[in-house]
């Protein structure tokens, strides 16, 4: 891919250099073709060969300057920032390069034609040099600007696709035959043992499935909705793990209207359950709370499984990509004192989904 980009730049540089050479010496070309009424010196502008050499020399100067600035500005490197220092370096290099190459190439041209080298200051050649430098720098900056915008657009589209894929995976996991089989098995046992709890179980299962099916339509959800579904999901897990699993939710109600990516909290609960042993000897406690900085923190003790459940491994990655797409921020993950914590920002409820901010 890198070689392809270099060759693309070379092709663009060649075309621009030739066009620039023709533009600079357009009057010379017209004169050599007899289309100009200006007086001309024999062997100078009146010669077709001389006009060709003039265009060739200017084109070579422009092309060489393009290639030198290519390695200074690096237009196909999106991480290369245009700073005042870089601009100054490019300008100085361009002026020196154009001046030296122009003088050298035209000196060779005069020697080949058998003409004496003109040493006196010529404002026309100086203008040509400055014009070449301006066009070269402007062309490279334009290429870099277009490339950077395309890179950002492609990265955003990739993030969108990754987010949709993550939501699809979460949806697929929740309505998979394995999930439904476990849920229906637990429900059948409850119907026989405790019909009242069975009705409650159906309510929680219905809420989780309905929310999962509709959440893919939104980029964010209210925090209170996420906490409600997380509580229902926890109640489903309680049928399986009983008192060995405990989820504690301590969140300020004033944050209820703040927003988070859909299924973010539920994904963090799933992540804790999948990667930790939950038994009488190793009960698992998960705490969901807010801090003073408009963040939600989900913490669980670490009891690594001897045999881990099969996992797609995209849960935390997907949440991270969602936040980077929505706000440019990222989630924070920490491990200390045998506890695993994930900190996710709460999004400001006063902003719409196309322009989120935390303030």
The domain ranges of the chain are 2-156, 175-345
Residue 288 tokens read as 């969901």
Residue 268: its pLDDT value, please?
92
**The pTM is what?**
0.53
Task: List the single range of 24-33, 163-172, 336-345 with lowest mean pLDDT.
Answer: 163-172
Residue 226: its pLDDT value, please?
92
Task: List the single range of 78-82, 269-273, 292-296 with lowest mean pLDDT.
Answer: 78-82
Q: Which residue has the higher pLDDT, 46 or 263?
A: 263
Looking from the CA of 294 toward its CB, the CA atoms found within 13 Å total: 12
Question: Quick check: 146 pLDDT over 60?
Answer: yes
Question: Quick check: 215 pLDDT over 50?
Answer: yes
Render 102-138 in DSSP notation, one character per residue.
HHHHHHHHHHHHTPPPP-S--HHHHHHHHHHHHHHHH
Instruction: Give pLDDT tens digits for 51-70.
Output: 787 788 888 888 888 888 88
Residue 66: its pLDDT value, please?
86
Question: Quick check: 175 pLDDT over 60?
Answer: no
Residue 47: its pLDDT value, please?
73
Q: Cβ distance 52 to 25 under 8 Å?
A: no
Domain covering 175-345 assigned CATH 3.30.565.10 in the classification: yes
Cβ within 8 Å of residue 251, ≥6 positions away: 223, 227, 288, 289, 290, 296
Residue 299: its pLDDT value, please?
96
As a whole-number percent, the residues of the chain with pLDDT over 90 amount to 16
3-state SS, residue 211? helix
Residue 145: its pLDDT value, please?
84
3-state SS, residue 58? helix
Question: Quick check: 7 pLDDT over 90?
Answer: no
Q: Cβ distance 230 to 266 under 8 Å?
A: yes
Beta strands in 232-320 (DSSP E): 245-250, 259-260, 284-290, 295-301
Stretch 241-252: mean pLDDT, rounded?
92
Q: Cβ distance 132 to 61 under 8 Å?
A: yes
Tell which phi-psi region holds residue 357, choosing left (phi > 0), alpha (psi between -120 and 50) or beta: beta
CA-CA distance, 7 to 20, in Å (whole number)?
Answer: 20
Q: Which residue has the higher pLDDT, 251 or 167?
A: 251
Q: Which residue has the higher pLDDT, 328 or 359?
A: 328
């Amino acid at each position: 891919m890198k070689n392809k980009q270099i060759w693309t730049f070379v092709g663009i540089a060649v075309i621009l250099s030739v066009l620039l050479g023709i533009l600079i010496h357009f009057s010379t070309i017209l004169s050599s073709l007899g289309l100009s009424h200006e007086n001309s010196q024999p062997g100078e502008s009146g010669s077709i060969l001389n006009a060709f050499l003039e265009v060739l020399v200017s084109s070579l100067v422009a092309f060489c300057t393009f290639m030198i600035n290519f390695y200074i500005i690096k237009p196909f490197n999106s991480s290369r920032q245009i700073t005042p220092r870089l601009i100054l370096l490019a300008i100085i290099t361009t002026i020196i390069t154009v001046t030296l190459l122009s003088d050298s190439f035209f000196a060779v041209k005069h020697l080949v034609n058998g003409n004496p080298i003109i040493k006196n200051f010529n404002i026309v050649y100086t203008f040509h040099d400055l014009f070449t430098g301006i066009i070269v720098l402007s062309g490279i900056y334009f290429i870099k600007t277009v490339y950077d915008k395309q890179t950002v657009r492609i990265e955003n589209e990739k993030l969108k696709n990754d987010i949709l894929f993550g939501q699809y995976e979460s949806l697929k996991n929740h309505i998979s035959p394995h999930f439904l089989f476990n849920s229906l098995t637990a429900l059948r046992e409850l119907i026989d043992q405790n019909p009242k709890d069975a009705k409650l179980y159906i309510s929680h299962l219905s809420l989780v499935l309905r929310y999962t099916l509709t959440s893919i339509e939104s980029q964010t959800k209210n925090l209170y909705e996420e906490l409600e579904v997380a509580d229902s999901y926890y109640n489903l897990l309680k049928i399986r793990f009983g008192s060995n699993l405990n989820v504690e939710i301590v969140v300020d109600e004033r944050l209820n209207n703040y927003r988070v990516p859909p299924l973010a909290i539920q994904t963090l609960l799933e992540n804790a359950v999948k990667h930790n042993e939950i038994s009488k000897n190793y009960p698992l406690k998960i705490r969901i709370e807010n801090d003073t900085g408009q963040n939600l923190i989900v913490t669980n003790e670490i009891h690594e499984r001897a045999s881990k459940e099969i996992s797609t491994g995209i849960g935390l990655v997907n949440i991270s990509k969602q936040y980077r797409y929505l706000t440019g921020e990222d989630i924070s993950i920490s491990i200390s004192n045998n506890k695993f914590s994930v900190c996710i920002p709460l999004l400001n409820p006063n902003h719409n989904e196309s322009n989120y901010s935390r303030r």
